[in-house]
């Protein structure tokens, strides 16, 4: 190749910025922050100390978008550490708490893999399950000599709600990675993490049933199918969810819906979710509901395929079918299944069942029966939730807590580089 040809190619590369051989301005300072990458439940994400990010939360977005590789909205996150899916593009920001009775504060950030957007409107239960182990290993918790487990109280700043975790300790006082607990969607086993969402009602709206009904007929105006009617429960527990009774989804020409791989069905799911956002009071209209994809969420509930589950579920996250189920989704469904009249109640207990559970009750803070279990089948397996209802002196019933089992593992630690 001639010298002239070589210069021409070099100049072309310099102009395109793919391989800049010439520098016309000082090279920008390389920037980074310390972080830990963890598998937390069925998600993976960055765990960061609050002190290592700017004081103003509004300044986090560009930093985290660059770190995860979403600054250019290409969807592949090649120029960052994200895994190009919503479940591998998450961030937990953790700080030692000054709140009475709370050990650590936790803020969840969902980084969109295909858009230059971050969403901090809701919580992520899977990422929350790693907050206790992270806090322990980072020295944010005090451990006594010979202690084999520790209870951690976590305040989620997104929803202003409290999570209690019980984690196993190694002889050195760190999180014990090894154990015999397995969870659907994760290969191998680890030590169990008991995660309990305390008083999960009204995480964003202040009410468990913001519309005032445990179940309602919902009219959805779709772009391709016109107006259709569905049976839904709009439930806010852990996160707000539109829980759709899939038996009411009878659309001519689509007898197999809900079907995760069908692109038309994914469009329908988003139409339903947007209408739900308006009904929840989280958006003024369906157009503004499209801007925030993280909340509310949507899940389609079906009768159990066999005796190994009580409810079968297909949940969505950021516009796509979830490979398993969000922990907050399981919490919401577990809570709804304990309340008479909801879609989840009817599927778990039968259409004509009017009897209330004989277990899962607290009266004025005193537990009088064991929690009520609900087995939820999702695409990766079956998860069990345990719900406890509280009854006060006036006879008012509320969801006291919903518990699940999770596992987590630290994968690597170091510095994450970013460009802004």
Give the integer Cα–Cα distance in Å for 228 and 220.
5
Sign of the four-CA dihedral 374, 154, 142, 126: positive
Reported pTM: 0.86
Q: What is each CA distance from 222 to 244, 275, 298, in whole angstroms?
A: 15, 10, 16
Contact 151, 166 (CB under 8 A): yes
> Do residues 133 and 410 touch, judged by C-beta distance below 8 A?
yes
Q: Rounded to the nearest 10 degrees, how much is the dihedral formed by the CA atoms of 115, 52, 161, 113?
A: 10
Structure tokens, 305: 């395929």
In the numeric block, the tokens 């202690």 are attached to 147
DSSP state of 175: B
Residue matched to tokens 């006036």: 394
Instruction: Tell me how far apart the alpha carbons of residues 401 and 166 are, in angstroms, rounded to a whole number.
Output: 14
Cβ-contact 191, 393 below 8 angstroms: no
Dihedral (C-alpha) 331, 333, 335, 336: value to the nearest 10 degrees? 160
Phi-psi region of 121 (alpha: psi -120 to 50; beta: other; left: phi over 0): alpha
Alpha carbons within 13 A on the beta-carbon side of 121: 19
Quote the tokens at residue 45: 């994400």
Contact 71, 109 (CB under 8 A): no
Residue 57: DSSP 8-state: G
- One digit per residue, the tens of pLDDT, for the chain of length 420 reads 444 444 444 444 444 455 455 555 567 788 999 999 999 999 999 999 999 999 999 999 999 999 999 998 888 999 999 999 999 999 999 999 999 999 999 999 999 999 999 999 999 999 999 999 999 999 999 999 889 999 999 999 999 999 999 999 999 999 998 999 999 999 999 999 999 999 999 999 999 999 999 999 989 988 788 899 999 999 999 999 999 999 999 888 888 888 888 889 999 999 999 999 999 999 999 999 998 988 999 999 999 999 999 999 999 998 899 999 999 999 999 999 999 999 999 999 876 555 555 556 677 667 777 788 999 999 999 999 999 998 877 777 889 999 999 999 999 999 999 998
Burial of 30 (0-12, 13-18, 19+ CB in 10 A): exposed
For 407, list phi and psi in degrees, rounded to 5: -135, 160
């Amino acid at each position: 190749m001639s010298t002239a040809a070589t210069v021409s190619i070099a100049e072309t590369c310099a102009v395109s910025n793919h391989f800049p051989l010439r520098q016309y301005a000082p090279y920008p300072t390389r920037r980074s922050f310390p972080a830990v990458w963890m598998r937390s439940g069925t998600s993976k994400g960055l765990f960061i100390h609050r002190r290592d990010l700017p004081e103003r939360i509004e300044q986090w977005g560009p930093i985290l978008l660059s770190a995860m590789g979403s600054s250019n909205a290409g969807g592949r996150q090649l120029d960052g550490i994200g895994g190009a899916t919503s479940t591998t593009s998450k961030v937990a920001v953790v700080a030692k708490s000054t709140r009475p009775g709370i050990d650590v504060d936790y803020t969840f950030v969902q980084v969109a893999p295909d858009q230059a957007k971050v969403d901090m409107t809701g919580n992520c239960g899977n990422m929350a399950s790693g907050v206790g182990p992270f806090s322990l290993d980072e020295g944010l918790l005090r451990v006594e000599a010979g202690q084999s487990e520790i209870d951690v109280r976590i305040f989620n700043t997104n929803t202003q709600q409290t999570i209690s975790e019980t984690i196993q300790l190694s002889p050195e006082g760190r999180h014990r990675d090894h154990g015999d607990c397995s969870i659907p969607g994760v290969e191998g086993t680890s030590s169990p993490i008991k995660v309990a969402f305390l008083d999960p009602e009204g995480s964003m709206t202040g009410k468990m049933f913001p519309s005032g009904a445990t179940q309602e007929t919902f009219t959805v105006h779709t772009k391709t199918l016109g107006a259709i009617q569905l049976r839904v429960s709009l439930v806010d527990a852990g996160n707000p969810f539109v829980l759709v009774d899939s038996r009411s989804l009878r659309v001519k020409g689509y007898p197999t819906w809900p079907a995760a791989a069908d692109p038309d069905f994914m469009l329908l799911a988003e139409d339903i979710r947007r209408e739900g956002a308006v009904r929840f009071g989280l958006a003024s209209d369906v157009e503004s509901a499209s801007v925030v994809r993280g909340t509310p969420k949507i899940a389609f509930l079906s009768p159990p395929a066999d005796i190994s589950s009580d409810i079968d579920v297909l949940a969505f996250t950021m516009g796509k079918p979830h490979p398993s189920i969000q922990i907050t989704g399981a919490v919401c469904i577990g809570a709804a299944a304990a309340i008479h009249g909801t879609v989840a109640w009817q599927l778990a207990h039968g259409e004509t069942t009017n009897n209330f559970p004989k277990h899962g009750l607290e009266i004025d803070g005193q537990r009088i029966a064991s929690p009520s279990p609900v087995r939820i089948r999702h695409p990766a397996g079956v998860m069990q939730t345990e719900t406890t209802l509280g009854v006060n002196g006036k006879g008012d019933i509320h969801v006291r807590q919903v518990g699940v089992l999770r596992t987590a593992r630290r994968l690597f630690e170091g510095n994450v580089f970013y460009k802004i």
